[in-house]
Amino acid sequence: MRKLPFISLALFLCLALFGCKSSSPPAAATSQAIPPANGPRIYVTNEVSGDLTIIDAGTRKVLGTVPLGKRPRGIHPSPDGKTLYVALSGSPIAGPDVDESTLPPPDKSADGIGVFDVAQNKLVRTLHAGSDPENFDVSKDGKQIYVSNEDEAEVSIIDIASGNVIKSLKMGAQPEGVRVTPDGKLVFVTSEEDGTLTILDPAAQKIGTSFKVGHRPRSIAFLPDGSRAYVNAENDGNVVLVDPVHHKLLKEIPIGKPGIIKPMAVLLSPDATRLYVSTGRGGKVFTVDTKANTAVASVQVGKRPWGIALSPDGKTLYSANGPSNDISVVDLATNTVTATIPAGAGPWGVVVLP
């Protein structure tokens, strides 16, 4: 039998044993040259293809695609906009029609928060972030990250400088949505299974009050003064208005028929007069008037819109449409889709930077 060269043999063994799936993304080694943009840049995490699509908002053209790692989902910028943080997970993708007993075991070595340098277009490091990170938020001073660890029913506090978990705290089952209060003092975390909001005090490193907000909450949006917050209730077809100071549900805002319209992400306009709501398999993005707290408009976008983001001037909305593998561009003045931009496989989160 002819001997294979060393590199070929290594490649053969890698393919045979592991399928050559590495938890260290290729982008960590070298930066990728991206053409200059004619407008803001749109960054899209693609859960299935494991990469980041970079789009010129001015020309609506894809500038490049950068590998990240396994299952990139939640994405948030640093306060100065120079860094993007991305939740990475080695847990296999499960869906409503998937028998979870048939899935492979999770690759815990792939779990973490990827640190993407915007200027270099390069993944420069991966932070430890507990098990199966899905979403998170960044502290106002940019020193800490608060991560939901869904499979462990925990929220973890990450020190960005050291890249380590300071503390992980138990909370309600299936935590997902994470949002720092406008004053930066507290962190609110949704529990999908328990239907609650849980309050984390990051300075004291303690879990405080939990209160009911509806069935399957995933996302939180605070008014600028922190006096009110909006939370999706996916299985109720509602968005709820809550008092985060006194820990009370104030009002349920119907969005659509439960089970068909499934509110997912909630996002406030810069002046907080409008709330935008993606609806998953409902295929639409709704607009809520925050003075009347009623849904006033909707627009059909792609399949299962999840993550949504606004242009810096607040005039355009972008929705990440998972099964469509694209981004819808919505003109909010006319409430119409003006363009559809291809992304990677399974776009999940979207961020727009000036």
In this prediction, residue 95 carries a pLDDT of 65
Element (H, E) at 299: strand 294-300
Among 294, 281, 173, 145, CA closest to 230 = 294
CA neighbours within 13 Å on the CB side: how many for 230? 30
The 3-state secondary structure of 218-281 reads CCEEECCCCCCEEEEEHHHCEEEEEECCCCEEEEEEECCCCCCCCCCCEEECCCCCEEEEECHH
Helix (H) or strand (E) holding 175: strand 175-180
Which pLDDT does position 295 carry in this prediction? 98
Q: Which pTM does this prediction carry?
A: 0.90
Walk along the chain (354 residues) and give the pLDDT tens digit of each residue: 333 333 333 333 333 333 333 334 443 445 678 888 888 999 999 999 999 999 999 999 999 999 999 999 999 999 999 999 999 999 998 766 666 777 889 999 999 999 999 999 999 999 999 999 999 999 999 999 999 999 999 999 999 999 999 999 999 999 999 999 999 999 999 999 999 999 999 999 999 999 999 999 999 999 999 999 999 999 999 999 999 999 999 999 999 999 999 999 999 999 999 999 999 999 999 999 999 999 999 999 999 999 999 999 999 999 999 999 999 999 999 999 999 999 999 999 999 999
The DSSP secondary structure of 91-150, one letter per residue, reads SPP--TT--GGGSPPP-GGG-EEEEEETTTTEEEEEE---SSEEEEEE-TTSSEEEEEEG
